[in-house]
Amino acid sequence: MQGLAVTETINTIAEAERRFGLSRSTFKDFFTEWRDQLPDINSSDRTNLETLWQRYIYHRSSGQLLESTVMLLLVSPLLTIAGLYDPPFLIKAEESVQIAVSDSEATLQGRIDLLVLCDRLWVVVLESKKTMLSVWSALPQTLAYLMANSNSDSTHPAGNCPTFGMLTNGDEIVFVKLEGKCYAMSQVFSPLVTQSELEVTCQVLRKIAESVACDLQKA
Strands, E, within 121-168: which ranges?
121-125, 163-168
To which H or E segment does residue 214 belong? Answer: helix 195-218
The pLDDT, as a whole number, for residue 73 is: 92
The pLDDT, as a whole number, for residue 125 is: 81
Residue 49 contacts residue 76 (beta carbons within 8 Å): no
- Contacting residues for 109 by C-beta, under 8 A, at least 6 apart: 3, 4, 5, 6, 96, 97, 98, 99
The pLDDT, as a whole number, for residue 90 is: 81
Instruction: Give the number of other Cβ atoms within 10 Å of residue 204's Cβ.
Output: 22
Q: CA 7 from chain center: how many Å?
A: 16
Residues of the chain with pLDDT under 50: 1-2, 130-132, 151-158
